Structure 1
Amino acid sequence: MTSSTQLPLSADEQEVIADLQRRSFFGISGALLAGGLLSGLPTGEANALTKALPNTEDGAQRGGTLEALVHPEPPTLAFFINTATPTRLVASKIFDGLLDYGPDLQPRGQLAERWQVAADGLSVTLNLRKNVFWHDGKPFTSEDVKFSAEQVWRKYAPTARRVFQNLTQVDTPDAHTVVLRLSKPTPVILNALDVVAAPVLPRHLYEGTDIPNNPHNNKPVGTGPFVFKEWSRGSHIALERFDKYWAPGLPYLDRLTFKVIPDVAGRATALETGAVHYGERNPVTFADADRLAKSNKLVVSTDGYNGFAATLWLIPNLRDPILGKLAVRQALVHAINRDALVRTVWGGYAAAATGPVSSQLKTFYTADTQQYPFDRKKAEALLEEAGYPKKADGWRFDLTHAFIPYGDDYRRTGEFVRQAFRAVGVNVDLKSQDLASWTKDVFADYKFQLVSSWGVNWQDPQLGLEQHYWSKAESKGTPWQNASGYASPEMDRLLEAAQVEPDIAKRAQIYQDVQRLVQKDLPLLHLFEFRWFGVWDKRLRNVTDTFNHSQSNFARVWFDAKA
């Protein structure tokens, strides 16, 4: 069976869906949480409503080298430990996941061609593809999944450690069947079997090794459509077509090269001149995006990010004696004119956030949360209340703000925030670092006061939200895991209830309560929601056939010479 996608439904199929919606069983909640119906259905019922997508398409043209941007340069390709977007952008072409997800957020088979959740929610059966090979020629089997689940998911992978906390046993009745056995229902699982959330590594290269320091981490051997060839630091990462890829005829491209171009103007020039064909996740300034959109050679589009609803926030170190005070955090939010930030720095490609869940994730979102409108007088009053009057030099206290080093927009956001805080008497030192140093300071050493960062909700808040607010998610040295040090018994209770709640309405209500508590406690200061855009050559096809530009495997991307 080849990978499948959802086709338009007939009247009969719509009636089947209506009937299934009236029934209550575990699998259906996982589907609704993903924003699409089919993602959680037991295999037989799901397959009745989907059809196979051919490996290749009529008119697709083989060959060519796609030159793509990666910014900033990945700190590592160990995507099972560091899930930074530049890392996942590259690794997702080298590795496949058990499942992938389409623009409709419904699952599509990659390494698993069929999947089934037991009626009681206590087991998930994965039927793996046959004739799948690792890039070194070794066959891919259920033992690779078992090893990854036991030694990687539960020990290193940030998302899987949380999602599979109730995993008690992994059975492999044969070389192409895996049964995940759970102590409690875990509705989110079918939304968390992608390449990054549940990474599958080659057992024969990792078993018995120091996994975080395995030499294959930065010379990866995967099962995906492209083979790693070289990484020239500061220049490029080169991949080549895998001729034994499990989908006959794919990938279409011969080569894929990720170019490292730190300068945003240089990235715009590379796209405009054709030196680069593809850039994802806001690769150029907004002014350049508007200009390039008028080109007859380029596409500028926000398509392809349906499952990548993200917000930018400030992370306060709650261990810090100043930022540990709620009144100070409330004051800092009041001091920022978020509408002006969106308009002047982000060119309108954003929207002021009301809390931790993006309004694009409609199943879970609520605007009924405590808000902190721009009000400098209120901010100053709160700072006075917190015990920080202005001193003789006009400043209340000093604060270091390290912006995430993902490019000029983030630096400019840092400058905007610095000016906002200075206007209420907080003297801010803006700190610029490379990504590796920034990551170490924030997530390994907790050596920071305030940083900017951002994160994605994914298809379900448990995947992208829980890691920042659950006290048990704190993991010193693991990027993007509760760096603030927030610990709230009430928040833990809510998040742990959501982990096992199969009823969609009840689960949505829990996450609405989570949003309200976040806005009350302010462990993170949410500023705005992103509206991502990509820029690519008009000759490229199938660029947006994904839930997330940043981890599409590009197996079906091709150049149309007739365009």
Structure 2
Amino acid sequence: MAGQAMAQAAAAKAGTLRITLPEPVMLTGAFNSAGQIYLISGKMFDGLVTYGFDFKPRPQLAESWTLSADGLALTFKLRPGVKWHDGKPFTSADLAYSAMSVWKVAHPRGRSTYANLEKVDTPDPLTATLRFSKPAPYVMNALAGVESQILPRHLYEGKDLLTNPLNAAPVGNGPYKFVEWQRGQFIALERNPDYWDKSKTLLDRIVVRIIPDPAGRSAAFESGELDVGGAIPVALADAKRLSGLPSLEIPEKGTEALATMAYIEFNLRKAPFNDVRVRRAIAHALNRDFMMKNIWYGFGRVSTGPISSDMSQFYSKDVPSYKYDIEVAKKLLDEAGLKPGADGVRFRMTHDPLPGGDHYRSTGDYFRAAMQRIGIAVEVRNQDFAGYYKRVYTDNDFDSTNFVAFNLTDPTLGVQRFYWSKNIQKGVVFSNGSGYSNPEVDKLLEAAQVETDPVKRKAQFAQFQKIVMTDLPNIPIGDINYFTLLNRRVKNLITSPYGAHDNFAGVSVTG
């Protein structure tokens, strides 16, 4: 109670922004792409560039950049005078360390984004040249502070990356500095007085209230205790009602860079999920129209394949489909040798929802009911984030799971990680957790990584979508509106396609 009182007292101060998110497992996004980390880490770390709504890069930590004619060398001229929050200068050595020892090695998307990065030259403290073995046409789309986050080399090099205490108490270079994290209660950030852009950082503090219950978050928004929540911060059943209140709104923009999708994923390491007939049967047993209307309350549309329809330049609807048909589902299970027993049960399985909101739990409950109709008994297991990440991505102790993930602005950045066999890596969250491996898919993904002809690249991804929807390592459920709920006293928050995931440097509050 004392910690909660401190958070509320801080939030009462003029110039304090009050936001909410589920409890993260850490505050550094350089090697963990979990959504709740994405929402907070970018306030403490700037990126090389930021992006306009046209998705064109704009200078941030990098003042300028040039790409060689052969596409193999990308040179950045870094902004002078930028300091880490401990007062040390930000230099090209930090970029080189982060690119080679963090993004390329440990980030679930970075492993594919930077797969062809061979080295980083640093001829002086303000110049860095990324050298690739093959062209990487998508990299300029991956340099936001929340996606390719640069860590301070002097505080990380020579230490264990995953267990460094600074992952929970970051030393960044962004507009806000870490102050305190009272677990289960609040996270406090304060204005960085040495921030390079003196025209920004209008807020004194950001107080993040940890409210695990969506109903509690809804009540806090309605009473005026919260200002901002990104990534579907309230129960979907409450969202439209709350956005109709005079003090609150759901902005139309600010999620374009995310291209969020909901999935049900299988563990292909285990029988019977290594049998594609079983996966197809389950797909036929899911009424995804019902799910979008009754679980997602219309905040999205049914997916047709592994690439979001929001990513129109790569999306293809010319893929195998699995319409809702219980009898087809039963027939496929019969063909797989999974006949009902005396109790009507064909087999038993577990399902682990992502512990991020009611929509995940509701998906788990619906999945259990849907599977019962075709003779599959499902145990739904709910746990906290740390337990979920360990169970799914470290121990691979699961049969199926449901979650959402960002496709981002290019399939190589946000989609490849789930289907590329080289991204099967224990302990790396939101990677290839299913264990899916198809040499033809690997070949297509790796070809698209280096293809500079946009027509050929689109064709490669079209073929990829067909194969993946045939193999069905996961079931795409919906293209989701990952909305932000915002108090109207907050000004200048939605200024980029990253919206609530951006750095809030120019945000202010009135009243």
TM-score when scaled to structure 1? 0.87
* Partner of residue 241, structure 2: 291
What amino acid sits opposite 1:117 in the alignment?
Answer: L
What amino acid sits opposite 1:86 in the alignment?
Answer: Q
* Partner of residue 66, structure 1: 17
Aligned mates of 2:28, 2:254 — CA distance in 1: 25
Aligned mates of 1:154, 1:316 — CA distance in 2: 26
What amino acid sits opposite 1:222 in the alignment?
Answer: G
Displacement of 1:433 in angstroms is: 0.9
- 1:189-220 CA-partner distances (Å, limit 9, x unpaired): 10111223322111111122222222211111
* Partner of residue 355, structure 2: 405
* Partner of residue 93, structure 1: 43
What amino acid sits opposite 2:375 in the alignment?
Answer: G
The 5-angstrom pairing of residues 487-498 of structure 1 reads 487-498=437-448
* Partner of residue 6, structure 2: none
Aligned mates of 2:91, 2:449 — CA distance in 1: 29
Contact in 2 for aligned 1:354/1:367 (Cα 8 Å): yes
What amino acid sits opposite 2:146 in the alignment?
Answer: V
* Partner of residue 281, structure 1: 231
Contact in 2 for aligned 1:306/1:548 (Cα 8 Å): yes
What amino acid sits opposite 2:53 in the alignment?
Answer: P
Displacement of 1:102 in angstroms is: 2.3
* Partner of residue 345, structure 1: 295
Displacement of 1:183 in angstroms is: 1.3
Aligned mates of 2:413, 2:317 — CA distance in 1: 20
Q: Does 1:176 align with 2:126?
A: yes
Displacement of 1:398 in angstroms is: 0.6
Aligned mates of 2:349, 2:118 — CA distance in 1: 46
**SS across alignment from 2:485:** strand
Contact in 2 for aligned 1:68/1:256 (Cα 8 Å): yes
**SS across alignment from 1:211:** coil
* Partner of residue 536, structure 1: 486
Displacement of 1:302 in angstroms is: 3.9
Displacement of 1:315 in angstroms is: 1.1
What amino acid sits opposite 2:391 in the alignment?
Answer: D
* Partner of residue 43, structure 1: none
- 1:287-336 CA-partner distances (Å, limit 9, x unpaired): 32121122111112342001111111111000111111100000000001
Aligned mates of 2:38, 2:109 — CA distance in 1: 13
- 1:120-160 CA-partner distances (Å, limit 9, x unpaired): 10100101001101111111111111222222223222222
Aligned mates of 2:99, 2:333 — CA distance in 1: 48
Contact in 1 for aligned 2:350/2:380 (Cα 8 Å): yes
Contact in 1 for aligned 2:352/2:401 (Cα 8 Å): yes
Aligned mates of 2:229, 2:305 — CA distance in 1: 29
**SS across alignment from 2:403:** strand
What amino acid sits opposite 1:411 in the alignment?
Answer: R
Contact in 1 for aligned 2:67/2:73 (Cα 8 Å): yes
What amino acid sits opposite 1:482 in the alignment?
Answer: N
* Partner of residue 256, structure 2: 306
Displacement of 1:74 in angstroms is: 0.3
Structure 1: gaps spanning 5 or more residues:
1-61
Q: CA RMSD in A?
A: 1.3
Q: Does 1:120 align with 2:70?
A: yes
**SS across alignment from 1:151:** helix
Contact in 2 for aligned 1:154/1:161 (Cα 8 Å): yes
**SS across alignment from 1:526:** strand
What amino acid sits opposite 1:65 in the alignment?
Answer: T
Q: Does 1:251 align with 2:191?
A: no
**SS across alignment from 1:230:** strand
189-198 vs 475-484, which moves further? 189-198
**SS across alignment from 2:187:** strand
* Partner of residue 129, structure 1: 79
Aligned mates of 2:233, 2:64 — CA distance in 1: 36
**SS across alignment from 1:155:** helix
**SS across alignment from 1:67:** strand
Aligned mates of 2:113, 2:231 — CA distance in 1: 26
Contact in 2 for aligned 1:80/1:158 (Cα 8 Å): no
Contact in 1 for aligned 2:251/2:483 (Cα 8 Å): yes
* Partner of residue 240, structure 1: 190
Contact in 2 for aligned 1:396/1:426 (Cα 8 Å): yes
The 5-angstrom pairing of residues 78-477 of structure 1 reads 78-477=28-427
Contact in 2 for aligned 1:159/1:198 (Cα 8 Å): no
- 1:460-487 CA-partner distances (Å, limit 9, x unpaired): 0000111010111111111111110111
134-143 vs 226-235, which moves further? 134-143
Aligned mates of 1:118, 1:63 — CA distance in 2: 48
* Partner of residue 11, structure 1: none
Displacement of 1:401 in angstroms is: 0.7
**SS across alignment from 2:250:** strand
Aligned mates of 1:149, 1:555 — CA distance in 2: 24
Contact in 2 for aligned 1:401/1:451 (Cα 8 Å): yes
**SS across alignment from 2:428:** coil
Contact in 2 for aligned 1:81/1:158 (Cα 8 Å): yes
- 1:407-457 CA-partner distances (Å, limit 9, x unpaired): 111101111111111111111111111111011000001000011122111
The 5-angstrom pairing of residues 39-78 of structure 1 reads 64-70=15-21, 72-78=22-28
239-248 vs 282-291, which moves further? 282-291
**SS across alignment from 2:42:** helix
Aligned mates of 1:324, 1:155 — CA distance in 2: 28
Aligned mates of 1:412, 1:161 — CA distance in 2: 32
Contact in 1 for aligned 2:29/2:147 (Cα 8 Å): no
**SS across alignment from 1:227:** strand
Contact in 2 for aligned 1:158/1:197 (Cα 8 Å): no
Contact in 2 for aligned 1:541/1:557 (Cα 8 Å): yes
What amino acid sits opposite 2:323 in the alignment?
Answer: P
Aligned mates of 2:259, 2:99 — CA distance in 1: 27
Aligned mates of 2:432, 2:309 — CA distance in 1: 22
Displacement of 1:532 in angstroms is: 2.1
169-178 vs 285-294, which moves further? 285-294
Displacement of 1:550 in angstroms is: 4.6
